[in-house]
Amino acid sequence: MSRITRNLNYSEPIEVEEGVFWVGFCDDESGLHCNPYLIIDNDEAVLIDGGSRPEFPQVMMKVLKTGVNPHHIRALIYQHFDPDLCGSIPNLENIISNKDLRIISEKSNNVFIKHYYVTSGLLSIDEIDYKFKFQSGRELSFYKTPYAHAPGSFVTFDSKSGILFTSDLFGSYGKEWELFLTLEKECFNCADYNDCPNKKDYCPIPDLLNFHKEVIPSGEALKQAIEVVAKVPLSIIAPQHGSIIHKADDIAFVCEKLFKLDGVGIDKLAHNRAGNDSGSIEGLKRRLAQK
């Protein structure tokens, strides 16, 4: 992709595709890099997973540097309800200052999102037939990915750019970070991520896999989400954490690795307690009977 270059300036908005900007925050201290995205379509704009309250100044400065008038932001889309996505909602509402602004999420997310002191109209994706339409006719389509990682998680596909915005899905956690993930052909058959065949000091794959083991509740939830993603005619995956995956071979490789990933969420605990399913319950029953 011609827009992807080395030595990016992360203090500036970065155009991923025409009219689609990364307006995120590079956190070198914690390693949790957050990636809000702004889509500008003529005189309208949409902000996806807008970020936390502490990050608001950096995110808003990047939004302004794109040249968009904040008043033209029609919707704030939140693909789950965590504070690293939703914490800045009151700040955004104040700056946007648009009575027609809508906050869009899944209905089970909205139960929690309203507690961020939302003053705008709160919409569920099922109320709008899982689509958001710009006046130009451009559409954003929403696909539910339950429990990846929240019950109401979903992903957002922009058919014009080919970008699938995936929130925590395809995310990563690590201090070594670049906005765009680029793998080499040797990565696809690597058997030891601690011994890079290209002698690189850092491999991004372990951070990506470990993130999913910690964040996604179970392997079944992750498999189901990958199956949903596999049916979308995407060309780019843009997660809310970690790096954008933009090469077809890399997308296919990462999808396969995640689909086959073991020890995800509760699964690793379930494996440790195999064969001891009834012991604790029987013990509880005996103690209760003695009271």
SS (H, E, C) the chain: CCCCCCCCCCCCCEEEECCEEECCECCCCCCCCECCEEEEECCEEEEECCCCCCCHHHHHHHHHHCCCCHHHEEEEECCCCCHHHHCCHHHHHHHHCCCCCEEEECHHHHHHHHHHCCCCEEEEHHHHCCEEECCCCCEEEEEECCCCCCCCCEEEEECCCCEEEEECCCCCCCCCCCCEECCCHHHHHCCCCCCCCCCCCCCCHHHHHHHHHHHCCEHHHHHHHHHHHHCCCCCEEEECECCEECCHHHHHHHHHHHHCCCCCEHHHHHHHCCCCCCHHHHHHHHHHHCC
Q: Domains along the chain?
A: 14-272 (3.60.15.10)
Q: Locate 189 and state its tokens.
A: 């058959």
Report the candidate in 3, 11, 33 with the shortest Cα–Cα distance to residue 178.
33
Percent of the chain with pLDDT strictly greater than 70: 93
- Rounded Cα–Cα distance for residues 132 and 48 (Å): 12
Q: What is the mean pLDDT of the chain?
A: 91
Average of per-residue pLDDT across 193-205: 84
18-49: per-residue pLDDT in tens?
Answer: 999 999 987 766 667 789 999 999 999 999 99
State residue 58 phi and psi, 5-degree precision. -65, -45
Which segment of 34-43, 165-174, 192-201 scores lowest on mean pLDDT? 192-201
Is the pLDDT assigned to residue 2 strictly greater than 50? no
Q: How high is the pLDDT of residue 164?
A: 98
Q: Locate 44 and state its tokens.
A: 């309208």
Q: Are 26 and 10 in contact (CB under 8 A)?
A: yes
- Rounded Cα–Cα distance for residues 237 and 10 (Å): 19
**pTM of the predicted model as reported, rounded to 2 decimal places:** 0.91
pLDDT category, 3, cuts 50, 70, 90? low
Q: How high is the pLDDT of residue 32?
A: 72
254-276: per-residue pLDDT in tens?
Answer: 999 999 999 999 998 876 665 55
Q: Torsion angle, CA of 50/8/14/125, rounded to 10 degrees?
A: -40
74-112: per-residue pLDDT in tens?
Answer: 999 999 999 998 999 999 999 999 999 999 999 999 999
Q: How high is the pLDDT of residue 190?
A: 86
- Full strand arrangement of the beta sheet holding 244-245: 131-133, 139-144, 154-158, 163-167, 236-239, 244-245, 180-181
- Residue 276 vs residue 148, higher pLDDT: 148
Q: Locate 79 and state its tokens.
A: 């693909």
- Rounded Cα–Cα distance for residues 187 and 197 (Å): 8
Is the pLDDT assigned to residue 200 strictly greater than 90? no
Q: How high is the pLDDT of residue 274?
A: 56
Q: How high is the pLDDT of residue 1?
A: 44
Average of per-residue pLDDT across 281-286: 81
The distance from CA 48 to its chain's CA centroid, rounded to whole angstroms, is: 9
Is the pLDDT assigned to residue 117 strictly greater than 90? no
Token pair 């030595």 is found at: 7
- Rounded Cα–Cα distance for residues 47 and 1 (Å): 23
